[in-house]
Amino acid sequence: MPENNTKKKVLFIVNPISGTRGKRNLPRIINENIDKNQFEISIVNTEYAGHAIELSKQGVTEGYDIIVAVGGDGTVNEVASQLIHEKPVFGIIPGGSGNGLARHLNIPLSPVKAIHLINKGLVTKIDTAKVNDRVFVSIAGVGFDALVAKKFAESNTRGFLTYFKIATQEFLNYKPKKYKLKFPDGRKIKRRAFFISFANSNQFGFNTQIAPNARLNDGKLDICIAKKPNILQTPILANLLLLKMIDKSPLMEIIPTTEVKIKRKKNKVVNIDGEPVKLTKNLTVKIVPLSLKVIIPENVKEAE
């Protein structure tokens, strides 16, 4: 058995209120399943919004080798945002509602299986991205999905049914907005869009794939520009999302790029990895290639 000073230090940052499942047993599950011959562990709970950012930053300063987000996409975002180009490796134990990044990476939703991945320690580098100065790892966006993210954050319940209910309630009255987009090659386009997603990973979460061809290590974002479907088109569009074929719809335009500048009419909410953040009218969205080390399963496309 290795001496203590050869063990890697692992910090688990737990959001106790994310998702629909209680996390009271997580410290016991972590302690029972983590390989104590390899790792010396610390477990801390977040106590307020933004706390995971502070805890992650502190973990970097204190020399942790691995920092694990235990929670949903918001917790994943807060922890990962402090690990860009830093020494610690990022781990995920999914515990949220959508779990978009975890699903893209095929990280098991079972905490025990996710901990076993950490024991195996297969690491790859993935891209991250920024909207102005705000980091996102999976998906950011403007328009309808940002409105739904805002309403979802304000809701007292979590899970897919809550998300679906909000989207259904807001859909009828939502009017597409005007956007101007400018790409690095100088190309400019104007669109009246239902929403525009900036996809680093392929999905919003809940296995709804907005950018089926997106990869986390290709140095590009997929800019997904959606027209508003009519009532008859809506179930077809929902099926295409779930079947990973939304790129086949005439309502969806997908443009791969390293950067895009967007002008909109108002300072409104932007969806940043599922969390609503109010930003300025003018947005610069850009990729940050291979900037985050993350633990992944074997046989995922990002491991190739």
User: What pLDDT sits at residue 22?
Assistant: 63
Q: Distance of CA 260 to CAs 17, 216, 221, 223, Å?
A: 35, 17, 9, 8
Does residue 302 or residue 304 have the better pLDDT?
Answer: 302
Residue 190 has pLDDT above 90, yes or no: yes
Measured distance CA(90)–CA(118) in Å, rounded: 10
What's the N-to-C CA distance of the chain in angstroms? 32
Average pLDDT over residues 191-214: 88
User: What pLDDT sits at residue 5?
Assistant: 64
- Residue spans per domain, the chain: 4-121, 134-289
User: What pLDDT sits at residue 1?
Assistant: 38
User: What pLDDT sits at residue 21?
Assistant: 62
Average pLDDT over residues 249-256: 92
Q: At what angle do helices 111-120 and 26-33 cross, to 10 degrees?
A: 40
Q: Give the CATH class of 134-289.
A: mainly beta
H or E, element range at 58: helix 51-61
Sign of CA dihedral 65, 138, 245, 207: positive
User: What pLDDT sits at residue 240?
Assistant: 64
B/e letters for 6-35, b = 16+ CB within 10 Å, e = fewer, are ebbbbbbbbbeebbeeebeebeebbeebbb
**What is the dotted CATH code of the domain comprising 4-121?**
3.40.50.10330
User: What pLDDT sits at residue 223?
Assistant: 97
Measured distance CA(100)–CA(274) in Å, rounded: 9
Residue 152 has pLDDT above 90, yes or no: no
Q: Over the stretch 88-132, which tens digit does the pLDDT of each residue have?
A: 999 999 988 788 899 999 999 999 999 999 999 999 999 999 999
Measured distance CA(62)–CA(275) in Å, rounded: 28
User: What pLDDT sits at residue 145?
Assistant: 87
Q: Over the stretch 8-60, which tens digit does the pLDDT of each residue have?
A: 999 999 998 866 566 778 899 999 999 999 999 999 999 998 999 999 999 99
Mean per-residue pLDDT of the chain: 90
User: What pLDDT sits at residue 109?
Assistant: 93
User: What pLDDT sits at residue 205?
Assistant: 72
